[in-house]
Amino acid sequence: MKVAYIASEVFPYAKTGGLGDVAGTLPKELAKLGNDVKVFMPKYNLFSEIDYGLHYQWKIGGILIPIADRIHSVHVQKAYLPESNGKKNSKVEIYFIDCPYYYYRYRVYTDDPDEDERFILFSKSVLEVIKRLNWSPDIIHCNDWHTGIIPLLIKDQPQSGEFSYSNEKVFERTATIFTIHNIAYQGIFDKHTFEKAGINPKYFLNGGHGEYYGKVSFLKTGIMVSDIINTVSETYAKELLTPEYGSGMDPFLNLRKEDFYGVLNGVDYNIWNPETDKLIPYNYSKNDLSGKLKNKKYLLENLGLTFDENIPLIGIISRLVEQKGFDILNEVLDEIITLNAHWVILGSGKRKYEEMFAQLAQNHPKKFSAYIGYNDEFAHLIEAGADMILMPSVYEPCGLNQIYSLKYGTVPIVRKTGGLADTVLDWHECLSEGKEIGTGYSFVNFSGSALLQSLKTAINDFHNKDLWRKIQLNGMEKDYSWQKSAEKYMELYKKATKRLNNGSS
């Protein structure tokens, strides 16, 4: 298949969250399955063209894109996605939409008044580039609200005499898939946004595909118009159909329920693997865990905490925001302080959470260490040196740190939601069914008391070394590689193509 993969951020060029990781890895796995994959993203001024081998595309040349009352000049640069080890390039082409007026702002997302225009231009430019390449994709794979109007642009039936991508032969047999990475971000703008994009007003009026409480939502547009919709875990897909988790989009997802799927994100084991990880001092494997204990000793000593192999080290690696569940942690801090455990926290975000953890480290320097910010090497070291990782999220579309932790023999303690529910099997829940297949600990109720009980249970089990080793090995044997996810996306591509051919879109 020919697959156009479109995202607002792609690692290593730009990344603010999980979308960047996915967009930097999934296209390469799709290519390994025999697909012709091209990636498209904006050219931000966050990285150097020279460092990543970008080349101006003379054959494409300049492109003029109208938005509202202005014409913007767009140019295109191309490179090849680097392999995960960074030593060579893959065969996957990546095209950068270069328009300094919109993208040279030193941030991926700006909240500027013209944020809608930035991604209107991106969406229309991608379609123009595909036209000029004379490359007819079988699938256009859109990601999050930033690309939500693309399916509408190629299906928009214009008023008489107006230009429309739906009349372009290159898109005649192109099916669309729309992936929601986080439902909370919806691309909601002023009601005149579709006018700026030159989209037929009928899609806004009278509850049209893009209208959302008198405004325009790019996310709703993608949901209503794409051939297939998916999100990044099976449980999160089920949750999004409910008012509790759907963030107002659940009525529209329920309308498209038959075309809505969950596909768990994968991880890149070339990067996250304790056997080969170059960012940790001691490599180890499921056959020999001695290196993990050495990493714990190294980590604790460098943090100024006393090493004791019988005292568990609990890690937190996270964005420090409401979604991650730190309010319920705060509820039971007095009890947590009394637990016989060491803690290491790495993250940044909302000031109240940064101050909460910084204060903990200051007031209890023998138990807590906090690094406010982000450091990739430190994240790897925590995964390798900690005994447990805590993720008490309010909701979690997929989550990656719990998957990294499983591979590193670092036992996850998670709230049972979204991708956390799909990847972490509660030890005692499995044991009650007569199965010793658990890989961690989970709690259902979003409360401090439920979190505290899971922590106490995990700490108690930690002292049973045979049991603990069993849980570690269960996790380390799990395979959440991107290959499996890519195969599932291929199934969705086939469904999207079939739906288009059946005339259902």
- Three-class SS string for 24-54? HHHHHHHHHCCCEEEEEEECCCCCCCCCCCC
CATH fourth-level superfamily of 2-266+483-501 = Glycogen Phosphorylase B; (3.40.50.2000)
CB 13 within 8 A of CB 47: yes
How far apart are alpha carbons 435 and 427 in whole angstroms? 9
How far apart are alpha carbons 373 and 458 in whole angstroms? 28
Tokens of 494: 């086939």
E strand or H helix at 343, and its extent?
Answer: strand 342-349
How far apart are alpha carbons 251 and 290 in whole angstroms? 52
E strand or H helix at 121, and its extent?
Answer: helix 115-133
CB 82 within 8 A of CB 90: yes
Selection from 36, 49, 41 nearest residue 11 by Cα: 41
Give the amino acid at 120. I
Give the amino acid at 214. G
Per-chain mean pLDDT for the chain: 94
Q: 135-144, 155-164, 183-192, 253-262 — which is least confidently predicted? A: 155-164
Q: What is the pLDDT of residue 168?
A: 87
How far apart are alpha carbons 369 and 171 in whole angstroms? 54
Residue 228: strand pairing partners: 177
Q: What is the pLDDT of residue 392?
A: 98
Q: In which band, very low, low, confident or very high, does the pLDDT at 157 lie, cut at 50, 70 and 90?
A: low
Is the per-residue pLDDT at 144 higher than 60? yes
Q: 60-64, 87-91, 380-384 — which is least confidently predicted? A: 87-91
Can you say how many angstroms the Cα of residue 211 is from the centroid of all Cα atoms in its chain? 26
Selection from 6, 1, 397 nearest residue 178 by Cα: 6
Selection from 189, 196, 222, 216 nearest residue 72 by Cα: 196
Handedness of CA 395, 400, 401, 402 (dihedral sign): positive
How far apart are alpha carbons 302 and 190 in whole angstroms? 51
Residues 80-135 pLDDT 10s? 999 876 678 899 999 999 999 999 999 999 999 999 999 999 999 999 999 999 99
Residues 467-481 pLDDT 10s? 999 999 999 999 999
Burial class, 294, CB count within 10 angstroms (exposed 0-12 / middle 13-18 / buried 19+): middle
Q: Does a cis peptide bond (omega within 30 degrees of 0) precede residue 113?
A: no
Tokens of 227: 């051939």
Q: What is the pLDDT of residue 17?
A: 83
- Calculate mean pLDDT across residues 311-330: 96
Is the per-residue pLDDT at 55 higher than 70? yes
How far apart are alpha carbons 100 and 113 in whole angstroms? 16
Alpha helices in 243-325, H assignment, sequence order: 243-246, 250-255, 290-303
For 290-480, the fitting CATH number among 3.40.50.2000, 3.40.50.720, 3.40.50.300, 3.30.930.10 is: 3.40.50.2000
Q: What angle do CA 111, 233, 171 make, to 5 degrees?
A: 65
The pTM assigned to this predicted structure is: 0.92
How far apart are alpha carbons 148 and 190 in whole angstroms? 16
Q: Centre a 10 Å sphere on the Cβ of residue 327 and count the other Cβ atoms it contains.
A: 15
Handedness of CA 224, 394, 388, 442 (dihedral sign): negative
- Measured in degrees and rounded to the nearest 5, phi and psi for residue 229 equal -120, 145
Taking phi first (over 0 means left), then psi (-120 to 50 degrees means alpha), and beta for anything else, what does residue 162 get? beta
Q: What is the pLDDT of residue 226?
A: 97
Q: In which band, very low, low, confident or very high, does the pLDDT at 352 lie, cut at 50, 70 and 90?
A: very high
The residue behind tokens 């439920």 is 450
Q: Centre a 10 Å sphere on the Cβ of residue 493 and count the other Cβ atoms it contains.
A: 21
Residues 404-442 pLDDT 10s? 999 999 999 999 999 999 999 999 999 999 999 999 999
Q: What is the pLDDT of residue 155?
A: 87
Can you say how many angstroms the Cα of residue 301 is from the centroid of all Cα atoms in its chain? 33
Selection from 347, 351, 355, 389 nearest residue 372 by Cα: 347
Classify residue 297 by its DSSP letter.
Answer: H
Q: What is the pLDDT of residue 473?
A: 98
Q: Residue 112, SS3?
A: coil
Q: In which band, very low, low, confident or very high, does the pLDDT at 204 lie, cut at 50, 70 and 90?
A: confident
Selection from 350, 409, 364, 360 nearest residue 382 by Cα: 409
Selection from 301, 349, 313 nearest residue 17 by Cα: 349
Q: In which band, very low, low, confident or very high, does the pLDDT at 505 lie, cut at 50, 70 and 90?
A: very low
Selection from 481, 466, 405 nearest residue 436 by Cα: 466
- Calculate mean pLDDT across residues 56-81: 95
How far apart are alpha carbons 174 and 138 in whole angstroms? 5
Strand positions, DSSP E, 232-276: 260-262
Q: Residue 207, SS3?
A: coil
In this structure, the dihedral spanned by the alpha carbons of residues 67, 70, 73 and 74, taken in order and rounded to 10 degrees, is -20
**Range(s) within the chain of domains with CATH label 3.40.50.2000:** 2-266+483-501, 290-480
Q: Residue 226, SS3?
A: coil
Tokens of 339: 């637990």
- Calculate mean pLDDT across residues 52-67: 95
Give the amino acid at 91. K
